[in-house]
Amino acid sequence: MREKNAPKLSQKAYESFTYHLSMRDLRAGQLISQRELVSLTGLPLGAIRELIPRLEAEGLIRTIPQRGMTIAEVEPKLVKDAFEFRLFLEIQAVKYFTKHASDKLVGELLNETKEIIALCEVEGSSDITNSNLITDAQTVDWKLHEQIIKTLNNKIIMDAYRVNAIKLRLIKLEQTSITQTNVISTMREHLDIINAVQLRNPAAAEREIVKHIEKARLRALTN
């Protein structure tokens, strides 16, 4: 019974670990022990021990003998590599998405983006102070990019993209995430992408997503 349940617990441990990364409970370069991960995730030590090789293989942690583990350090090379990988995948994916995404999905993404922009305009400021609105905007942001990749229906690509997305969320979260100062501009960049998709214009969609990702990369490198 223990062996049957072990993979499921290990997956839960992985999901909990990545959740706490996104919530900033774990920081780049932080030293943490297995026992601390047990406490953080609420899962047994066995599940944590099974989790560690996966995290090491994905480059999310590094084991230090006799000391514990460190969360991946954010270095300029990691920033460069992570954004290059994202750009490489999303350029191809958005062209496929433009041709094959359903009108229903595109319309849903368009309406969600327009709703965020409208709510921001109600705030009447370039600095949005409504934390719930910023959180909703971040969810809309991630959803667009995830849907673009999911449309490929390729598990290998989706898994690789997921791991890279975790690293991107670890990189200077304050610069690469939606913030009160960039929420409106980010949503308008999304609107440009979606409008190109709605017109079924792959070349235009590619241009817009390249501009969008490059702006996110520059924020990460200059802050």
What pTM value is reported for the model? 0.78
131-150 helix and 103-123 helix, angle to the nearest 10 degrees: 160
Per-residue model confidence (pLDDT) at position 129: 63
Q: Report the chain's terminal Cα–Cα distance, integer Å.
A: 50
DSSP states along 153-200: --HHHHHHHHHHHHHHHHTTHHHHS--TTTHHHHHHHHHHHHHHHHTT
H-type alpha helices, the chain: 2-22, 34-41, 45-57, 76-100, 103-123, 131-150, 155-170, 173-176, 183-198, 202-222
Residue 187, CB-side half-sphere exposure with 13 Å CA sphere: 30
Per-residue model confidence (pLDDT) at position 2: 47
Per-residue model confidence (pLDDT) at position 172: 56
58 Cβ neighbours under 8 A, 6+ residues apart: 163, 166
Residue numbers of the chain with a pLDDT score lower than 70:
1-7, 124-130, 172-180, 222-223
Q: Which is it for the CA torsion 178, 183, 187, 190, positive or negative?
A: negative
Based on the number of CB atoms within 10 Å of its own CB, is 137 exposed (0-12), middle (13-18) or buried (19 or more)? buried
Instruction: Please tell me the distance from the alpha carbon of residue 190 to that of residue 114, in angstroms, as a whole number.
Output: 10
Instruction: Please tell me the distance from the alpha carbon of residue 193 to that of residue 26, in angstroms, as a whole number.
Output: 32
Per-residue model confidence (pLDDT) at position 1: 41
